[in-house]
Structures are given as C-alpha cells and as structure tokens.
C-alpha cells in the first residue's frame, strides 16, 4: 500500500523529489500539488481532453524559471509553460504531466519606449491590461486575439485576430526575446532596431513554437499609435458568398481596413439575441477604418459603401458611433464563448485555416457546399481581411456519424486551403488538433528539420511534449 506522502504526489517519488528540490530555491507559495491547482491547469478553453500536471509552479523572475528548467531537465520531467489558459487548440495542456510553469506573477511592464513605439514586458502580462496602460501614452499593441490572453501565450502561438489585416500577427510585432532553454541556459534574440539582418532570425523561430523550444521570460514588442480618427461600418448581404466576394473586392481596391470580420446569419442572429446589437439578420461584414483626417475617413467609407451596394448589399451602415463601435467589437470577441454556451453538453471542432485573400471566397463557398452535402449546420465566421476562415461544428460526443462528417469536412477544407497556398492554422497553432496536417503542409524534409531543431534545443524532449509533432 502506498504511503500518504506517495498519494500526495500521485504515487510518483520522482515528483516528490522534484518538489523537494524546488523548495530549496522557491518559496512554499510558489509550488503546489493541490488538487484545485492541478485541475485548474489541466485544460484550456479547447474541447480537447484534460490532462493533469503533477506540479504547478509560479515563478517570479527569470532565475526562478531557470532553476525549474534545470532541475526538471536533470530529472527528465516535462515542463509546460502556462499563460492565461485561453488557447482553443490544447496548446498548454500538459500531455505528459510534469511541471506547469504559470507566469501569473511575471506580469509587469518593464519599460515603455514612447518615442520608439516599443514596450518591454514580462510574459504573464495580459493583453487587455497591457493595452489599458499603454493607452495612457497614446499607444497600443495591435494584434488582438479577442480573449484577454497573456503576451507570452500570444507569442508562443503567434496569435492574431481582428486587426491582423492592417498590423500583422503577433510575430510581426515582436522585436526581441529573452528565452530560457530546456537546460536552464538563457539566450537573447533580436534587438530594438526596427530592421535586423544579423544572422538567423531566432526571434521568429521561438514565436509560434508553442513552448516546445524554450520558455520566454521577456519580450520587446512593436507598438502602434492609437488612431486619431476611426469608424466602424456594417454591411449585410443576401448570401455568405456575396459577403466573401465583397471582402475580396474591398481588399483588392486598396481600401485598407484596420479590421474586417465576416459572420454568417446564425452568428448575427445569436449576437442580436445575446448582445442586443440590432443588426440585419443576414451574412454580415463588420469593418473598421482609420485615417489621419476626418475627410479622408469619410471619403474611404463612401467608397466602401458604393462598392458594397454594387455587390448586392441589402444594408450598409457607416454611422457607427464610438460607443456602438466598441460594443460591436466586444460582442464579436465574445462570439465564440456565446456559441459554446448556447450548445450545452455538446463537443465542438473549430478550424482556423488561412488562405491568400484571392482564395477566401472559394473557402467560404466550399464550406457552405460541404455543409449542405453532409447535412451539417456548420457555422462560418472569421478574420476575413487576412483570409482567415473559421468553421465551427457542434455535435454530441457519442454521435459517431456526426463526428465522422465533421472530420471529413474539416479535412477537405484544410486540403483546399493548402491547395490554394494557405495553411492549416492561421492563428490557433498546431496544438493537439492539427498534427495530422504537418507533413501535408510542410513536407517530410521540412518537418525533419523542425524535429532536428527541437532535438538540438531540447534533446531530452521535456518542453511541452506531445505538441506540434
């Protein structure tokens, strides 16, 4: 019979030894094996099955992270970094147990370089909290994932969102990183220079690596000035394919929206019911434009309106005031949570394929046709301006027929995205749900090089094992 102390450590004496070592350098409050803390770090916001870590650690500085990595590496115990747990692809789920390193307490703005439009931060700072502080000096970090994600998590997954069309994804706005490697060593990548051509671009090797190559402890980010003049516009169309074509035409005409979203009729109906938006219940594009002058903004909005009406828009509203604009975007950010809440007890599959903008209409049309072909109520929405389409399917977990249909539809859509020169994931990462597409997207040689890089930086394979490959 196992002893009480062994039960506390899940019957694993190596975990007991690890905790003893951790307590040498870390305070008792920084290390936990309590059931509540373990459960809290067993799942993210995805539909993937939970898996429990053995220990949760809250570092307070880089040295703490180094110590955890060094001890865990010596003992061959997995280490998984944790930000805010807002991932929807299982990226931070500790599939092999071990240690979860939660960056909750490393959440500070280290320095704001106002005249250079830059900020240096710790990885645990939350996106919205950081932008609230930056707004006081007229700046903001543009990539907007919707959720109040941690900056470390955003970098690890190369998160994007509604403003990618103008400002790029997270990695496009990361200048430099401080990274703790698997063995506890520290490296610094990049610089504060806007242009960097010195050697390999290690900053963007770690950005999007989902914590499998190293653990970020500091980041220097490129900021943007808050727009002087901006306005939202809403256009409704008779069919989602008409809306998709309007997306392409707006981009092709160089009208440069700072945000552009597409919603199918069901999404609009749901937002009207839950958020009282009062939108026309038809496939809809929500857009935002900004300009240095009111006259320039009005001219651009007039051109967008003319184009949308020519393409068959049944309604167009560019008179969206500041308060309504903010309410509109907050509602869009809550859409996924609303969709999940409105389908209680069901499991779901969410895709995030990305394609060149010329292929966006093809993706929407194909998604609509596959839904009809398989008699599925698939939901279509996405960050239309950068070619990022989401499809979402709900079904009962024990309904094998629906599960097979969803897998078939998602697979066909992903194949089309790749055929069009796109990707299986535009912003959520590979995580647990897209590993089967890695070879198809990158080829055997490229995947082999990725594995070689992983083996070089993490030879024992302790960093977030079970992800990407």
62 domain-assigned = yes
Same domain, 273 and 343: yes
Nearest to 80 by CA among 217, 210, 219, 218: 210
Report the distance separating Cα 424 and Cα 354, nearest Å: 7
Question: What does the pLDDT look like over 74-104, one tens digit per residue?
Answer: 999 999 999 999 999 999 999 999 999 999 9
427 domain-assigned = no
Mind spelling out the 3-state secondary structure of 132-164? HHHHHHCEECCCCCCCCCEHHHHHHHCCCCCCH
- The pLDDT of residue 50: 97
47 domain-assigned = yes
- The pLDDT of residue 371: 93
Report the distance separating Cα 122 and Cα 234, nearest Å: 37
- The pLDDT of residue 261: 96
- Asked if residues 246 and 311 have their Cβ atoms less than 8 Å apart, the reply is yes
Could you tell me how many residues make up the chain?
469
160 domain-assigned = yes
Look at the chain and report how many structural domains it folds into. Answer: 3
Residue ranges for the chain with pLDDT beneath 50: 1-6
- The pLDDT of residue 292: 86
- What are phi and psi for residue 404, nearest 5 degrees? -65, -40
What CATH number has the domain bearing residue 248? Answer: 3.40.462.10
Residue 225, SS3 per DSSP: strand
- The pLDDT of residue 4: 42
- The pLDDT of residue 324: 83
Same domain, 91 and 115: no
Same domain, 233 and 221: no
Same domain, 242 and 384: yes
Among 60, 79, 102, where does a domain finish? 102
- The pLDDT of residue 323: 83
Same domain, 255 and 376: yes
Same domain, 277 and 241: yes
- Asked if residues 98 and 53 have their Cβ atoms less than 8 Å apart, the reply is yes
For the entire predicted model, the pTM comes to 0.94
- What are phi and psi for residue 31, nearest 5 degrees? -130, 130
Same domain, 371 and 241: yes
* Residue 297: domain span: 229-419
- What are phi and psi for residue 319, nearest 5 degrees? -90, 45
- The pLDDT of residue 119: 98
Same domain, 84 and 184: no
Same domain, 256 and 388: yes
- The pLDDT of residue 228: 86
């Amino acid at each position: 019979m196992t002893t009480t102390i062994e039960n506390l450590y899940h019957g694993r004496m190596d975990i007991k030894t690890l905790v003893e070592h951790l307590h040498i350098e870390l305070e008792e409050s920084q290390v936990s094996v309590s059931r509540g803390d373990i459960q809290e770090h067993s799942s993210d916001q995805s539909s993937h099955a939970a898996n429990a870590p053995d220990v949760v650690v809250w570092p307070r500085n880089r040295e703490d992270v180094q110590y955890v990595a060094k001890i865990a590496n010596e003992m061959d115990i997995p280490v998984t970094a944790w930000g805010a747990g807002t991932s929807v692809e299982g990226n931070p789920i500790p599939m092999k147990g071990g240690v979860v390193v939660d960056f909750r307490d490393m959440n500070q703005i280290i320095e704001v370089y106002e005249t250079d439009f830059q900020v240096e931060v710790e990885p645990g700072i939350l996106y919205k909290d950081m932008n609230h502080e930056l707004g006081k000096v007229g700046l903001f970090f543009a990539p907007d994932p919707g959720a109040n994600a941690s900056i470390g998590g955003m970098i690890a997954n190369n998160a994007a969102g509604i403003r990618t069309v103008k400002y790029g994804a997270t990695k496009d706005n990361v200048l430099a990183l401080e990274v703790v490697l698997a063995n506890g060593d520290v490296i610094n990548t990049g610089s504060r220079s806007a242009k960097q051509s010195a050697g390999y671009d290690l900053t963007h090797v770690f950005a999007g690596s989902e914590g499998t190559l190293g653990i970020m402890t500091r980041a220097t980010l490129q900021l943007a000035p808050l727009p002087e003049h901006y306005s939202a516009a809403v256009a409704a169309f008779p069919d989602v394919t008409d809306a998709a074509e309007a997306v392409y035409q707006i981009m092709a005409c160089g009208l440069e929206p700072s945000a552009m979203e597409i919603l199918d009729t069901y999404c609009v109906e749901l937002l009207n019911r839950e958020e009282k938006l009062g939108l026309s219940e038809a496939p809809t594009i929500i857009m935002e434009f900004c300009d240095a002058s009111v006259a320039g903004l009005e001219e651009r909005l007039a051109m967008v309106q003319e184009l949308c009406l020519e393409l068959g828009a049944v309604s167009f509203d560019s008179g969206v005031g500041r308060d309504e604009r903010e309410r509109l975007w907050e509602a869009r950010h809550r859409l996924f949570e609303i969709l999940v809440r409105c389908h209680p007890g069901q499991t779901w599959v969410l895709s995030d394929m990305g394609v060149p903008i010329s292929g966006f209409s093809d993706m929407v049309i194909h998604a609509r046709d596959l839904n009809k072909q398989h008699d599925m109520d698939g939901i279509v929405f996405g960050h239309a301006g950068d070619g990022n389409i989401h499809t979402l399917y709900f079904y009962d977990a024990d309904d094998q027929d629906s599960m097979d249909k969803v897998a078939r539809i998602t697979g066909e859509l992903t194949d089309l995205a790749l055929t069009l020169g796109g990707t299986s994931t535009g912003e959520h990462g590979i995580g647990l749900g897209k590993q089967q597409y890695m070879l198809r997207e990158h080829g055997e040689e490229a995947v082999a090089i990725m594995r070689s890089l992983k083996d070089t930086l993490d030879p024992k394979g302790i960093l977030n094992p079970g992800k990407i490959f």
